[in-house]
């Protein structure tokens, strides 16, 4: 749908925001290294804590705080972090009456970035995930 120049953007629904955020988080987990550094472990733990404070849907943020309290972040390896994330996503799914996702299939559902010439493949760059 087109909006005239200067008109406010269409509001984002809670569902769209959720799907976009889960895409971000599961992609992050797919790229999370097998042997993370102390800094990488600290960063993902902080990211989750920050998300639970500033997620732009207050009810969701409040609920996620409780989810995190009951399920502290596990980020010791790629497997640990991607399974933990799958588990907490399922906690949210259950609370919304949605189907539970089979976590043994999380690596098949979420993968690396599809990017031309791997230009956005963070693993090859001088950055956080190197
Ligand atoms: C941190 C957080 C907290 C939220 N809290 C609330 C809340 O309290 N109330 C509310 O109404 N909404 C909340 N949401 C939004 C909600 O989780 C959904 O994103 C939204 O309802 C859209 O759901 P969906 O069915 O399209 O799929 P989503 O749940 O958005 O999932 C997107 C895709 O991820 C895959 N998937 C599903 N489950 C898993 C899993 N366990 N592991 C890996 N992949 C999976 C599926 O392929 C699915 O199509 C929250 C979102 C986030 C990110």
Q: With respect to residue 2, please indicate whether it lies within any of the assigned structural domains.
A: no
**84 Cβ contact partners less than 8 Å away, ≥ 6 residues apart:** 71, 73, 74, 75
Q: How many other C-beta atoms can be found within 10 angstroms of the C-beta atom of residue 101?
A: 15
CATH of the domain at 37: 1.20.120.310
What span, in angstroms and rounded, lies between the C-alpha atoms of 96 and 58?
16
Task: Report the domain count for the chain.
Answer: 1
Q: Which residues contact 45 (CB under 8 A, 6 or more apart)?
A: 73, 75
Residue 114 banded pLDDT, cuts 50, 70, 90: confident
Would 4 be classed as within a structural domain?
A: no
Query: Which pLDDT score, from 0 to 100, does residue 113 have?
Result: 73
pLDDT in tens, 81-94: 999 999 999 999 99
Please give the distance, rounded to the nearest whole angstrom, from the Cα atom of residue 5 to the centre of ligand 1.
Answer: 32
Using CB distances shorter than 6 Å, the residues near ligand 1 are 14-15, 18-19, 21-22, 26, 55, 59-60, 63-64, 86, 89-90, 92-93, 96, 98, 101, 106, 109
Residue 1 lies inside a defined structural domain of this protein: no
% the chain with pLDDT above 90: 77
Could you list the residue range(s) of the whole structural domain that residue 27 is in? Answer: 14-124
- The predicted pLDDT at position 115 comes to 72
Nearest-CA neighbor of 78 among 26, 15, 12, 8?
Answer: 26
Res 6 pLDDT > 50: yes
Residue 121 pLDDT exceeds 60: no
Contact criterion met (CB below 8 Å) for 33 and 129: yes
Q: Is 7 domain-assigned?
A: no
């Amino acid at each position: 749908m087109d909006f005239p120049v200067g008109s406010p953007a269409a509001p984002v629904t809670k569902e769209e925001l959720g799907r976009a955020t889960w895409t971000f988080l599961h992609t992050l987990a797919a790229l999370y290294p097998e042997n993370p550094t102390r800094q990488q472990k600290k960063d993902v733990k902080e990211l989750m804590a920050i998300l639970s404070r500033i997620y732009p849907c207050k009810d969701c943020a409040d609920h996620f705080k409780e989810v995190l309290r009951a399920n502290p972040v596990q980020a010791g390896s790629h497997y640990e972090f991607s399974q933990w994330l799958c588990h907490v996503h399922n906690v949210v799914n259950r609370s919304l009456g949605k189907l539970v996702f089979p976590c043994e299939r999380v690596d098949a559902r979420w993968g690396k970035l599809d990017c031309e010439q791997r230009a956005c493949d963070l693993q090859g760059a001088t950055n956080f995930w190197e």
